[in-house]
């Protein structure tokens, strides 16, 4: 049975805790009991994170207008709950972490009525985690999670993440979500991608796709599906976009039709590496169908199908 983390659509973001959940970095109970002062501190940390790697305690006191004792008390709770991190060197500094960023994003999405409940995890990648949720109907909410090795790779491979100098993981994750949402809005419904619903901070809310990854499916008509994938890649190319990470792991099958997912790394067809990137995407797909279904498709014909 599906377990839901219910969130009431109210301006003060009250969360009703139905069951003990470990699906998020912080518990529903902690979000439910979050004090307005703690929400203020989280918001100040968010506003300052592009300026500081570690926000000084003095800056928090000045920005919130709270007494130092009050700020210290609230910070201690936020640290205990996994929403904030402390660093004593070279000064007492604080940083928002994913637990706090998740809380702010859920608060905003709830206030706007985009979601009302969060369900179980339904997907995970090296740079994201996806949960089922309820909005006006079933939806999926994707939390972008760039960090560690994926962050370093993103900075090297994605030019938009090197702009502006300092780029902590939360900002990188926000940029990634914005990038993916932009692609979905531009491509849907011409290309078979998830219907975009909303984007907030590092999250993207989209229509729920009821299907499995291509690599987990046994196709009755693999040649037809391959043609369909190449046709969608062709339309996206015509719209000026190349997926840049296309493989059997980034394609879902719903009612016998393909849905291309995971678009934060897309590049424009005018990019200097566009040809190499497109060829890699096509090679990934052709190699998969040849390996699993012994289906041979001429590489040059496939490229011509997309770009011609």
Phi, psi angle pair for 298, to nearest 5° = -60, 125
**56, 64 in Cβ contact below 8 A?**
no
Q: 92 is written with which tokens?
A: 């007492």
Is 245 one of the catalytic residues? yes
Q: Rounded CA gap, 171 and 146, in Å?
A: 9
Question: 225 preceded by cis ω (within 30°)?
Answer: no
Q: Report how far apart, in Å, the C-alpha atoms of 162 and of each of 47, 81, 85 are.
A: 19, 31, 24
How close are the terminal C-alpha atoms of the chain, in Å?
49
3-state secondary structure of 244: coil
Q: Rounded CA gap, 234 and 228, in Å?
A: 10
DSSP 209: P
Q: Rounded CA gap, 251 and 130, in Å?
A: 15
Strands 117-125 and 5-7: antiparallel
DSSP 127: T
Q: Rounded CA gap, 305 and 41, in Å?
A: 53
Q: Which of 245, 255, 283, 298 is catalytic?
A: 245
88 CB-near residues (< 8 Å, 6+ apart)? none
Percent helix, strand, coil in the chain (nearest 5)? 45, 20, 35
Q: Rounded CA gap, 115 and 7, in Å?
A: 8
**Residues taking part in catalysis:** 245
């Amino acid at each position: 049975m599906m377990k839901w983390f219910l969130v009431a659509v109210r301006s003060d973001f009250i969360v009703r805790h139905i069951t003990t959940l470990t699906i998020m970095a912080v518990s529903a109970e902690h979000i439910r009991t979050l004090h307005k002062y703690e929400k203020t501190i989280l918001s100040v940390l968010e506003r300052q994170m592009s300026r500081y790697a570690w926000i000084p305690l003095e800056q928090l006191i000045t920005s919130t207008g709270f007494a130092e004792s009050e700020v210290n008390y609230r910070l201690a709770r936020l640290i205990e709950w996994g929403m904030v991190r402390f660093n004593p060197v070279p000064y007492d500094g604080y940083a928002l972490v994913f637990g706090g960023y998740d809380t702010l994003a859920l608060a905003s999405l709830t206030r706007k009525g985009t979601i009302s409940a969060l369900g179980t995890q339904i997907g995970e990648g090296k740079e994201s985690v996806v949960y089922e949720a309820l909005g006006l109907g079933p939806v999926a909410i994707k939390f972008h999670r760039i960090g560690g090795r994926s962050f370093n790779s993103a900075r090297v491979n994605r030019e938009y993440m090197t702009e502006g100098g300092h780029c902590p993981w939360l900002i990188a994750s926000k940029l990634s979500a914005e990038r993916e949402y932009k692609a979905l809005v531009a491509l849907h419904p011409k290309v078979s991608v998830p219907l975009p619903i909303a984007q907030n901070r590092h999250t993207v809310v989209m229509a729920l796709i009821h299907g499995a990854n291509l690599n987990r499916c046994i196709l009755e008509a693999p040649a037809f599906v391959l043609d369909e994938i190449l046709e969608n890649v062709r339309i996206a190319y015509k719209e000026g976009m190349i997926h840049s990470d296309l493989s059997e792991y980034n394609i879902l099958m719903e009612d016998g039709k393909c849905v291309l997912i995971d678009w934060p790394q897309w590049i424009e067809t005018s990019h200097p590496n566009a040809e190499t990137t497109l060829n890699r995407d096509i090679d990934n797909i052709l190699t998969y169908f040849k390996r699993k279904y012994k289906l041979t498709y001429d590489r040059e014909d496939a490229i011509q199908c997309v770009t011609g």
